[in-house]
């Protein structure tokens, strides 16, 4: 149970058809609830799985008609489990916002302006924003008097050190739509910017590869962001599990004309990438398929590897070299084939990876480079820890 000076935060992840509640005491996740939709007699119902700190799971013996009901149920479960009560109330509810624009490049305690700004950005973010709005409204209705904080997914990347924030579009268009290369995966990169020097691994020119279901690459100069692969939205940059990555903008325009903007954005974000090419968005299945001679899997894998290696090479040219590479997130931390395939293409820059290197959890990182190579690190990310730290700073500042 939390001590009196340990903050208790509820972190929301509101999807289009799911809701996840993760309860933290300090930086320790003590319990999570995952509500997801199922089909039952032709109707959509929602079930809940409880995951406790020891890893044990329990499916609640109950079904709900909508995700709106999930919030009241979550409150009941957390109180029943003894995680929140009068002596240990919630200090804040954190909602990550994947949305573009100056307002959303910073963290904010939710107020009327927040809701107005969210309404404005639904045009460019029709997939993420509706779930975010639903989550915020339900949180405020259910957990009254608890501050709700929106956590920007680009805050850590929108610093003066960035050299790639502009688009070559007419100024009036930039201003009308508040366009910019804001970047994303900011909570992961923000954590890395603190963790790398903490581990004593800081080099002048570094590239961090966040490779998970979504993929991006960020270049750091003296520990500060200089370049990042994602832009106005996470769609720009690398191909990933279901995203196209950067493609000819004309294709987007043609799809918008044919399908409508919302459906075109959905197709490029949710129905493309590895899934479209290989029929799977699971990198393990794609690797297995490629090894078994499946041509589609092999093509998807090669395009993915070329994309990451190419972006690292691009950043090397822009920085005038690279002193170290960091891999993080699910694929980056766990997939030896992916890491080695990428590093093999970068041998000309002085990088060579071991074939069997794994993470040493006692050190908190691993150097998977050969002895005659520049460093290649695996560092696990902790996006929740970064968000909790920044939310605590914001709330303390207001108090």
Please count the residues of the chain. Answer: 399
Owner of token pair 């290696």: 309
Q: Which of 321, 155, 310, 188 is nearest to 246 (CA)?
A: 310
Q: What is the pLDDT of residues 173-210, one digit of tens each?
A: 999 999 999 999 999 999 999 999 999 999 999 999 99
Among 153, 178, 292, 306, which one carries the catalytic annotation? Answer: 153
The residues, any chain, with a CB within 8 Å of residue 79's CB and separated by 6 or more, are: 85
Structure tokens at 103: 């307002």
Q: Looking at per-residue confidence, does 363 or 348 come out higher? A: 348
8-152 maps to CATH 3.40.50.150? no
User: Residue 115 has what pLDDT?
Assistant: 94
Name the residue ranges covered by the structural domains of the chain.
8-152, 201-383
* Residue 368 predicted with pLDDT over 90: yes
Say what percent of the chain tops pLDDT 90.
78
Q: How far apart are CA 192 and CA 209, in angstroms?
A: 11
The residues, any chain, with a CB within 8 Å of residue 128's CB and separated by 6 or more, are: 97, 98, 99
Q: How far apart are CA 248 and CA 246, in angstroms?
A: 7
CA 297 to chain centre: 25
Stretch 277-301: mean pLDDT, rounded? 97
Q: How far apart are CA 271 and CA 244, in angstroms?
A: 9
User: Residue 358 has what pLDDT?
Assistant: 67
Q: What is the pLDDT of residues 294-310, one digit of tens each?
A: 999 999 999 999 999 99
User: Residue 86 has what pLDDT?
Assistant: 86
* Residue 399 predicted with pLDDT over 50: no
Stretch 53-78: mean pLDDT, rounded? 89
Instruction: Indicate the average pLDDT of the chain.
Output: 92
User: Residue 98 has what pLDDT?
Assistant: 83
Structure tokens at 159: 């610093």
Q: What is the pLDDT of residues 115-125, one digit of tens each?
A: 999 988 877 77
Q: How many CB atoms lie within 10 A of CB 154?
A: 27
Domains 8-152 and 201-383 share a fold: yes
Q: How far apart are CA 363 and CA 199, in angstroms?
A: 9
User: Residue 5 has what pLDDT?
Assistant: 63
Q: What is the pLDDT of residues 20-34, one digit of tens each?
A: 999 999 989 999 999
Instruction: Return the ∠ at Cα 203 (arms to 201 and 206), rounded to 5°.
Output: 105
Q: At what angle do helices 295-319 and 336-344 cross, to 10 degrees?
A: 60
User: Residue 3 has what pLDDT?
Assistant: 46
Owner of token pair 């998977």: 368
User: Residue 40 has what pLDDT?
Assistant: 85
Stretch 326-349: mean pLDDT, rounded? 96
Task: Identify whether the C-beta of residue 90 lies closer than 8 Å to the C-beta of residue 10.
Answer: yes
Which pLDDT band, with edges at 50, 70 and 90, does 345 fall under? very high
Q: At what angle do helices 383-398 and 186-198 cross, to 10 degrees?
A: 90
248 is catalytic: no
201-383 maps to CATH 3.30.420.40? yes
Reported as type and span, the H/E element at residue 343 is helix 336-344
Structure tokens at 322: 């690279």
Task: Identify whether the C-beta of residue 322 lies closer than 8 Å to the C-beta of residue 205.
Answer: yes
* Residue 357 predicted with pLDDT over 90: no
Q: How far apart are CA 264 and CA 252, in angstroms?
A: 7
Indicate the range of 62-71, 162-171, 227-236 predicted with least confidence: 62-71
User: Residue 120 has what pLDDT?
Assistant: 86
Q: How far apart are CA 39 and CA 45, in angstroms?
A: 6
* Residue 126 predicted with pLDDT over 80: no
* Residue 383 predicted with pLDDT over 80: yes
């Amino acid at each position: 149970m939390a001590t009196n000076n340990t903050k208790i935060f509820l972190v929301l992840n509101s999807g289009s058809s799911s809701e996840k509640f993760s309860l933290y005491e300090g930086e320790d996740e003590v319990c999570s609830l995952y509500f997801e939709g199922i089909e039952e007699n032709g109707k959509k119902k929602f079930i809940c799985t409880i995951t406790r700190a020891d890893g044990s799971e329990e499916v609640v013996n109950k079904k709900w008609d909508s995700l709106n009901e999930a919030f009241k149920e979550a409150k009941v479960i957390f109180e029943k489990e003894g995680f929140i009560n009068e002596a240990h109330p919630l200090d804040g509810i954190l909602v990550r916002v994947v949305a573009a624009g100056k307002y959303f490049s910073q963290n904010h305690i939710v107020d009327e302006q927040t809701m107005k700004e969210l309404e404005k950005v639904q045009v460019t973010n029709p997939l993420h924003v509706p779930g975010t709005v639903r989550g915020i409204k339900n949180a405020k209705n259910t957990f009254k008097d608890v501050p709700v904080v929106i956590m920007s997914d680009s805050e850590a990347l929108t610093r003066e050190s960035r050299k790639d924030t502009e688009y070559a579009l007419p100024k009036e268009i930039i201003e009308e739509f508040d366009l910019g290369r804001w970047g994303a995966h900011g909570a992961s990169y923000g954590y890395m910017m603190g963790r790398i020097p903490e581990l004593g691994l800081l080099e002048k020119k570094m590239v961090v590869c966040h490779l998970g279901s979504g993929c991006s690459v960020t270049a750091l100069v003296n520990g500060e962001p200089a370049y990042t692969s994602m832009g106005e939205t996470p769609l720009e940059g690398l191909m990933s599990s279901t995203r196209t990555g950067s493609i000819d903008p004309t294709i987007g325009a043609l799809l918008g004309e044919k399908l409508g903007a919302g459906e075109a954005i959905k197709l490029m974000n949710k129905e493309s990438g590895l899934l479209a090419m290989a029929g799977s968005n699971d990198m393990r299945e794609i690797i297995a398929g490629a090894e078994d001679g499946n041509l589609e899997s092999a093509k998807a894998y090669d395009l993915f590897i070329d994309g990451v290696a190419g972006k690292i090479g691009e950043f090397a040219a822009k920085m005038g070299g690279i002193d170290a590479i960091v891999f993080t997130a699910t694929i980056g931390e766990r997939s030896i084939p992916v890491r080695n395939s990428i590093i093999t293409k970068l041998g000309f820059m002085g990088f060579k990876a071991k074939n069997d290197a794994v993470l040493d959890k006692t050190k908190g990182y691993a150097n998977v480079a050969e002895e005659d190579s520049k460093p290649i690190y695996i560092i696990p990310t902790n996006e929740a820890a970064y968000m909790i730290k920044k939310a605590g700073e914001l709330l303390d500042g207001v108090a």
